[in-house]
Structure 1
Amino acid sequence: MKPLIFFLKTALLLCLIRASALAQADPIGPSVKLPDHPRILLLQGEEQALKRTIGANPTWNNFHQAILTECDNLLTVAPVERIQIGRRLLDKSREALRRLFFLSYAYRMTQQPKYLQRGEKELLAISAFSDWNPSHFLDVAEMTMAAAIGYDWLHKGLSAQSRATIKEAILKKGIEPSFDSKYNGFLKVTNNWNQVCNAGMTYGALAIYEDQPELARKVFNRAIETIVLPMKEYAPEGAYPEGYGYWGYGTGFNVMFISALEKAFGKDFGVSQQPGFLKTAGYLANMTGPTGSSFNYSDAGTGGSLQPAMFWFASKLNDPSLLWVERDRLTKDGAGKFVNNRLLPATLIWGGGIDLNNVAEPKSLLWTGGGKNPVALMRSSWSDPAAIFVGLKAGSPSASHAHMDIGSFVMEADGVRWAMDFGMQDYNSLESKGVQLWGRDQNAQRWQVYRYNNFVHNTLTVNNELQVVESFAPMTSTSASPSFTSATTDITQAYKNSLAKANRGIAIVDKAYVVVRDEVETLPKETLVRWTMLTPADVKITAPNRAELTKDGKKLILQVQEPAGITLKTSPTNPSHDYDAPNPGTTLLTFDAPMPASSKGAITVLLLPEKTAGNATKPVQPLAQWPK
């Protein structure tokens, strides 16, 4: 009897394991029933809640009117054409998504036929393209999302012939190529490609579900299984390794994906609970300084922009303080400034229930996050437009879209960004001239691009050498003390061929000025350490160790406290290659610190806003004594 019981228990266990595995592989299940059209993001009848929000809040009303005005401008514009630039059709896919999201929103909110007719015209134009450029699958993903939103939101007003044409395009030019191994490498990567492409395919499958239920389920299940790969990159605290610009892209589309699941299925199948993902709203909220510009390390632009996904996070976490920066962008700049944002209508869908007049000031003046590219973000105040803001970057040049910027920082005070980052250069401007931009080894051409190496970032250069690509710099300590808000990072690996040790610390002291301190230990050879700060200010060197920076009627003093005997220098930011972008209005402020073999030394620089420049400063302690 016992062997029989053991056999039955074993068989039952195997069945349970098999059932569990099948459930994981098929979270959607065979009996799923989806709402009728429209089923993507905003169900039939949910427009009424948005209209109430618009009617009750002037900011949201202005937002709504800005979208309608832009749609009116689109009425006489020719549809998007299939014009490929280099290897990309992406700008056309993005414009199609913007137009169709806007026009479909306008029709649903007003029921005016002009928006339906113009949307239908756009849908038929992109459906007639020969293909959506599957060799660069981001193009397909965004075009599929464009067609899906238009098809779903305009569905009841489209002619039967138009429905058939658009549905066929979504299937043949969107979804089916995603099952071709030549094109679906996005399923295995851990960067924004995975997030964007899975989102686009999911939207396409939602749009045509009733016609292709089995194929659609495969798309849903595949996306739920694979999108968690890039989402693991948010762990542990939410720092997005690709930086601010790609946060808006990867995270924005990830949220589009989750939100679509929530609306269609009533749940997101646990996707949003990936470690660090919900915490990433804190990262983005802290990435912008009082000037409104972001900490634009890696492949990011030089400014900041409205981030629709932040409204989803604020609602999901019931924390309106996450919208401190986004609220300011909407109220000060107006929604009209952001009509080029193709996800703009989602802002109202996700944030319409939030009272923008009652957004509390964030409490913490310091945010730090680990992961592949750890960062520390600190400020002296959230509400003072003259506040000091500092962002410190650790991490690795080997991360996706990274630069050789280990130890680099940006700094603001008095409404001016004094220490800046160039950010990215337009990819096509480099690729069209034959630059192999995506190489990742130490000698890759990527590191010869002027804006991408450590020579022009606000960090150290040792013996005129590049930072080590495969290095990693952890954040080693932080302090949220109001009198000494600080962070330190061990950047030794970035210089492992040139230095025995290297550590950098940055602090805001008494909410009044900034200290940048480097401690280095040399190898058994003489070593030349160069300290660099890139600035948009006018620079006047007033002493060998002192410079006066002026911009927009404001002043900052840069003072080198140690080592003695250095000489500050300025140099233009003229690139050395014809493929490099020009950099007008910027200056490199540098000094060299020769160090003997097998020695230890410190470099201490003070950044003093004008109102504190004449005051006594505190002695700067060794990094080991900085508060933790």
Structure 2
Amino acid sequence: MNTPTRRTFLKSSAVLAATLPFARLPLGAATAANPPSAGPGRGLLFDPADLPRIRANLDLPRCAEIRSQLLDVDFAAETKFVREESRLNNHVADFMRLWKLVQNCAFAYTVWGDRRQLDLCLLALRRMCAYPRWDYFLEGGKDTIGLQRAPEATIAACYALDWLGAAVPADLVNLTEHRILTEGAPACYRTLYGMKYPDRVKGWGFDPEDDYPQAYRVSLARWPLILNATNLKIIPTCGLGLAAVWFHGRHPDAGKWLDLSRQSAQAFATMYGSDGSYDEGVGYWGYTTSHLAMLAEAVWRRLGLDDRKLINYPGTIRFALSMAMPCGGGVVADPKLGTAYNATPKGNYNPALDLVNFCDAGVGMDVSVAGWVGSTAHDPLCHHVAQNTGSLRLLQGAVWYQPDAPSQAPGPDLHDVRLSNDWVISRTGWAPADTVVALRSGGPANHEHADRNSIIFKAHGDRLFHDPFRAGYSFTTPQWLLRLTEAHTAVLINGQGHQYHNGSEGTNASWAVASVTDFRSGPGWMTVTSDASEAYALVLPDAAFVVRTLVFLKPEVLLVLDRVKLKSTAPVQVRFQVFNDDGKGAATAAGTTFGIDRPLASLRATVASAGSVSAGTAKLALPESVGVFPYVEVVSPSATDHEVLTACTTAPAGGAHGKLAVTRTASGWHITGSHSGQKVDVTLQTTTSVPALTIA
């Protein structure tokens, strides 16, 4: 890799740094003796000797998505975009497209030597440097802060200079390093400094000259506080760290950049649970954790400082594995995939890559970082995840992938998991035909939905109780409704869900908390009880007790018990959402029974209540241009005490369902019957906050 000579640089405008007061570890604790091969000659991500292995990886089906990103390039169209169409005041789309061209083309040229890739990379790099600002956020109305675009561009520029070496003309090297020093790194530094000292921030806001739509601009007044606990802290942390490593020993600010970057990473490490769980959901987990690893790898390779155990990396790969939920069937194309930015996520749904999509998880998970963890932690299960779970999307995945590394498939010990953030996942396995039930308890987080005590349920290769994809990021979009309790498989009180914010500050955390009060499992069964009373009482003062209990009798029976106690009478609704992105989800209801049908699976349910109860069907109040979202709604009429028990069976599409009898007893419920050769005899005593469960 390239090692630049010392040059004269313009002084950066970044402010002074100091240690984070809440950093978990002193920096010295993460410092190790230099590894024998560490030093300025090492690449930031890989070395020339790694290229044959990387090239071989990119020929594998597992890395096909990365290979496609690198090689499926319309050089004429991209050249025209760079020269004629890229707008200097558009960062959301155009600047992002430029930095991706810089990074991808630099990598592709380094791997395969195609001169067209080099020419396009250099053209895009020069154009990227021509942007007056590298991000569309300002402090005090004048100084760039870097949340995504500036750090991403800084990372791409450092990587490109490292990988291409002498292939970059000297004048472009000078220009690129000048822009990193005067725009990229200072923007990252200013952002992290503001998160560390929010009382010193002069005010964050949108750049008025950027063409980011006015309709999607929210208040940034509290963002230095809000973003300090989100993925948007780690991207500038990585960008600043790579700049510090690149200019180590060559620029006077490199030392303080490195200090603040490592301090920020250490402070953010507390956002991961002790078991590696991550509250923003598994979609943002991959992006965030990969950037932590990119930083740790560069610091280790160049400086010999070991931050590779900053979080429970093996545990966080197990978190991702717990969230994997592969289904069957074909890919469902997103008709809006190629449309302009509209503050709503886009993406084709590939059921083979399906996941427990709590929060803004997207339609699939990237596990590029799993290979890195497998190698650094010598963990065979992590290599199994890298080889078999989700997808590899980041080019780093092709560098870190070890197809021949010893791997170990997960065993039954990971079938029933209560994560440290109180998310519960129970399964029969990881094959599309296996059954998965997931309960979203726990506290608030950035990118969350109003989904406390909501559940996701899939069996026989299809989603049966759904959590909607592509919820809007802006409250001005109709899809904002998909964030709310009413769009989840959850409880409503008089048609209202639990507390959630109004979106005026973005997709930040609410105040809603639920807590798992009981979690147990045994051979062929799992039960969990979660109390969301506090979350509902924040907006419904009469809500005294809102508790959900699940009993999962593997593989095809699920009991859902909802208990609500109110200070005054009101009706309660229990909704069950139907997956219909492909137009093939159907719901039926009659009296105290309902059904959900998908192409690969069916569900039949019997509902019972302490009082009267009825089931019906409806659709979310959204325009059909957004989508059709059917659901089943079970209604318990106005009362102060509600107990609604829903007994569900699943079967392959067209398969027979057994019959379950639900009987009200003096102290609770008795559920008996059989389904698919499985005897069911369950007693739930509901006189205590945690029901007493007996499985005969």
Give the TM interval when normalised to the shorter protein: 0.7 to 0.9
What's the CA shift string for 1:83-118, capped at 9, x where partnerless?
478xx7244444334323322222222334333222
Query: CA offset at residue 249 of structure 1?
Result: 2.3
What's the CA shift string for 1:306-341, capped at 9, x where partnerless?
3212222233333343455653468xxxx8xx7xx4
Correspondence 1:574 to 2:621: yes
Q: Distance in 1 between matches of 2:195 and 2:624?
A: 31
SS of equivalent residue, structure 1 residue 596: strand
Q: Which of 167, 182, 186 is matched with 1:172 structurally?
A: 182
Specify whether residues 38 and 277 from structure 1 end up closer, same or farther in structure 2 by C-alpha distance, changes over 3 A only.
closer
The number of aligned residues is 563
Correspondence 1:625 to 2:692: yes
Q: Which has the higher strand share?
A: 2
Give the partner amino acid of 2:371.
F
Q: Distance in 2 between matches of 1:294 and 1:100?
A: 31
Q: Distance in 1 between matches of 2:315 and 2:157?
A: 32
SS of equivalent residue, structure 2 residue 234: helix
| Residue pair 1:195, 1:230 contacting (<8 A) in 2 also | yes
What's the CA shift string for 1:5-36, capped at 9, x where partnerless?
xxxxxxxxxxxxxxxx998489889x999734
Over the matched positions of the two proteins, sequence identity in percent amounts to: 18
| Residue pair 1:71, 1:106 contacting (<8 A) in 2 also | no
Specify whether residues 226 and 329 from structure 1 end up closer, same or farther in structure 2 by C-alpha distance, changes over 3 A only.
closer
Which residues of 2 match residues 50-69 of structure 1 at below 5 A?
A: 50-51=54-55, 58-59=60-61, 65-66=67-68, 68-69=70-71
Specify whether residues 170 and 282 from structure 1 end up closer, same or farther in structure 2 by C-alpha distance, changes over 3 A only.
same
Query: CA offset at residue 258 of structure 1?
Result: 1.7
> Bigger CA drift: 179-188 or 528-537?
179-188
Query: CA offset at residue 574 of structure 1?
Result: 2.5
Specify whether residues 52 and 381 from structure 1 end up closer, same or farther in structure 2 by C-alpha distance, changes over 3 A only.
closer
Correspondence 1:39 to 2:38: no
| Residue pair 1:151, 1:207 contacting (<8 A) in 2 also | no
Q: Distance in 1 between matches of 2:159 and 2:62?
A: 22
Query: CA offset at residue 174 of structure 1?
Result: 0.4
| Residue pair 2:613, 2:635 contacting (<8 A) in 1 also | yes
Residue of structure 2 in register with 1:272 after alignment? 309
Q: Which of 94, 100, 107 is matched with 1:105 structurally?
A: 107
What's the CA shift string for 1:261-311, capped at 9, x where partnerless?
222223434x6334x45412111111121213112222232x114321222
SS of equivalent residue, structure 2 residue 574: strand
Give the partner amino acid of 1:314.
G
Which residues of 2 match residues 201-350 of structure 1 at below 5 A?
A: 201-212=240-251, 214-269=252-307, 272-274=309-311, 276-291=312-327, 292-301=353-362, 303-322=363-382, 327-328=387-388, 341=393, 344-350=394-400
What's the CA shift string for 1:413-466, capped at 9, x where partnerless?
111111111244343xx37x5x7xxxxxxxxxx9x9311221121111112333
Residue of structure 2 in register with 1:450 after alignment? 481
Q: Distance in 2 between matches of 1:361 and 1:26?
A: 32
What's the CA shift string for 1:147-190, capped at 9, x where partnerless?
11112111221111111111111111101233447984378612
Structure 2 unmatched runs, 5+: 1-23, 139-144, 198-224, 328-352, 501-510, 660-673, 675-679
Q: Distance in 2 between matches of 1:194 and 1:476?
A: 32
Give the partner amino acid of 2:112.
T
Query: CA offset at residue 614 of structure 1?
Result: 1.4
Q: Distance in 2 between matches of 1:487 and 1:205?
A: 47
Q: TM-score, normalised by structure 2?
A: 0.73
Q: TM-score, normalised by structure 1?
A: 0.80
Specify whether residues 90 and 257 from structure 1 end up closer, same or farther in structure 2 by C-alpha distance, changes over 3 A only.
farther
Correspondence 1:360 to 2:403: no
Q: Distance in 1 between matches of 2:548 and 2:460?
A: 25
Specify whether residues 346 and 589 from structure 1 end up closer, same or farther in structure 2 by C-alpha distance, changes over 3 A only.
same
Query: CA offset at residue 205 of structure 1?
Result: 2.6
SS of equivalent residue, structure 1 residue 46: helix
Specify whether residues 421 and 73 from structure 1 end up closer, same or farther in structure 2 by C-alpha distance, changes over 3 A only.
farther
| Residue pair 1:410, 1:420 contacting (<8 A) in 2 also | yes
Correspondence 1:603 to 2:642: no
What's the CA shift string for 1:456-477, capped at 9, x where partnerless?
2111111233313523112222
What's the CA shift string for 1:471-502, capped at 9, x where partnerless?
31122222232321232211121222233222
> Bigger CA drift: 618-627 or 105-114?
618-627
Query: CA offset at residue 369 of structure 1?
Result: 1.1
SS of equivalent residue, structure 1 residue 99: helix
Q: Which has the higher helix share?
A: 1
> Bigger CA drift: 303-312 or 156-165?
303-312
Residue of structure 2 in register with 1:539 after alignment? 586
SS of equivalent residue, structure 2 residue 571: strand
Q: Distance in 1 between matches of 2:102 and 2:134?
A: 16
> Bigger CA drift: 114-123 or 600-609?
600-609
Q: Which of 172, 183, 186 is matched with 1:162 structurally?
A: 172
Q: Distance in 1 between matches of 2:192 and 2:26?
A: 29
Give the partner amino acid of 1:473.
A
SS of equivalent residue, structure 2 residue 319: helix
Query: CA offset at residue 563 of structure 1?
Result: 4.4
Specify whether residues 585 and 319 from structure 1 end up closer, same or farther in structure 2 by C-alpha distance, changes over 3 A only.
farther
Which residues of 2 match residues 346-425 of structure 1 at below 5 A?
A: 346-352=396-402, 354-355=404-405, 360-363=409-412, 364-371=414-421, 374-383=422-431, 385-396=432-443, 398-425=444-471
Specify whether residues 166 and 393 from structure 1 end up closer, same or farther in structure 2 by C-alpha distance, changes over 3 A only.
same
Q: Distance in 2 between matches of 1:217 and 1:571?
A: 60
Q: Distance in 2 between matches of 1:464 and 1:306?
A: 36
| Residue pair 1:362, 1:382 contacting (<8 A) in 2 also | no
| Residue pair 1:71, 1:102 contacting (<8 A) in 2 also | no
Query: CA offset at residue 370 of structure 1?
Result: 2.2
Query: CA offset at residue 379 of structure 1?
Result: 1.0
Q: Distance in 1 between matches of 2:264 and 2:175?
A: 30
Q: Distance in 1 between matches of 2:440 and 2:465?
A: 13
Residue of structure 2 in register with 1:199 after alignment? 238
Give the partner amino acid of 2:430.
W
Query: CA offset at residue 600 of structure 1?
Result: 6.0
Specify whether residues 77 and 237 from structure 1 end up closer, same or farther in structure 2 by C-alpha distance, changes over 3 A only.
same
Give the partner amino acid of 1:417.
R
> Bigger CA drift: 242-251 or 359-368?
359-368
Q: Which of 488, 500, 516 is matched with 1:475 structurally?
A: 516
Residue of structure 2 in register with 1:505 after alignment? 549
> Bigger CA drift: 176-185 or 203-212?
176-185
SS of equivalent residue, structure 1 residue 307: coil
Specify whether residues 60 and 72 from structure 1 end up closer, same or farther in structure 2 by C-alpha distance, changes over 3 A only.
farther
Give the partner amino acid of 2:309.
S
SS of equivalent residue, structure 2 residue 498: coil
Q: Distance in 2 between matches of 1:408 and 1:26?
A: 41
> Bigger CA drift: 486-495 or 614-623?
614-623
| Residue pair 2:191, 2:236 contacting (<8 A) in 1 also | no
Residue of structure 1 in register with 2:569 after alignment? 526
Q: Distance in 2 between matches of 1:205 and 1:370?
A: 34
| Residue pair 1:514, 1:607 contacting (<8 A) in 2 also | yes
SS of equivalent residue, structure 2 residue 614: coil
What's the CA shift string for 1:514-538, capped at 9, x where partnerless?
2222233332x21321101110254
Residue of structure 1 in register with 2:201 after alignment? none
Give me the CA root mean square deviation: 3.5
Q: Distance in 2 between matches of 1:325 and 1:130?
A: 42
Correspondence 1:549 to 2:609: no
